[in-house]
A and B are shown apart, each in its own frame.
Chain A
């Protein structure tokens, strides 16, 4: 079992709709969870971090964490073509000084 798993996609969503991205992780003691966005040919940039169970909202983005189910998700409301990118889920395992990344989900927003 991979430490962090994501559906590689591609995920295609119409403009204005909600895009839902999912991630599961294997280490139940993981402490910190992140979503990074990566445009083609560019380096990843942080868009959301979440540390406790529940929802965290930042503008059009909402991160959701369920530690019991070892599941973290990202919702993008009112999707825009500029949201088209690969979204990487990252997890800090218990006691680790590193982040482990999933393979990323490629999201395409169709005008």
Chain B
């Protein structure tokens, strides 16, 4: 069965510091991978998605970036965090190419920027 790992689970960072969140998927090959962000009390905002190694689609202009160095690894980064980057970051993998279109989420990374 497929599993998705996301870390770190919680982090507190000062404004201007860098960020790296990592996500890996097991039990599937060539998945679609996604980064969503959820601000407190809000819905899910799609940040980036990837349909293959090195292929990144950006949904929202911001100071974040994403990379997919391996088939089942997806990384979210920032060189300098802003207060507005605080939120709950969710990685997901999807079997959209198969037609089922279901997204399965990791446990999330809660980021507080001070």
B51 pairs with A97, CB closer than 8 A? yes
Q: With A and B bound together, what is the CA distance between A44 and B92 in angstroms? A: 10
Q: Which residues of B contact A99 (CB under 8 A)?
A: 46, 94, 101, 103
Of B34, B43, B104, chain A has the most CB atoms within 10 Å of the CB of: B43
Interface residues on A, range: 20 to 34
Q: Which residues of B contact A44 (CB under 8 A)?
A: 44, 90, 105
Query: Which of chain B's residues has its CB closest to A45's CB?
Result: B105
A-B contacts, CB under 8 A, total: 54
Q: How far is the CB of A64 from chain B (nearest CB, A)?
A: 18
Q: Interface residue count for B (Cβ, 8 Å)?
A: 24
Stretch in A12-20, A67-75, A100-108 touching the partner: A100-108
Query: Which of chain B's residues has its CB closest to A100's CB?
Result: B46
Residue of A31, A43, A102, A104 near B108 (CB, 8 A) is A43
Query: Which of chain A's residues has its CB closest to B50's CB?
Result: A97
B44 pairs with A88, CB closer than 8 A? yes
Kindly state whether residue B82 has any CB partner on chain A within 8 Å. Answer: no
Chain B residues near A (Cβ < 8 Å): 32, 34, 36, 42-44, 46, 49, 51, 57, 59, 90, 94, 96-97, 100-108
Chain A residues near B (Cβ < 8 Å): 6, 31-32, 34, 42-46, 49, 88, 90, 92, 97-104
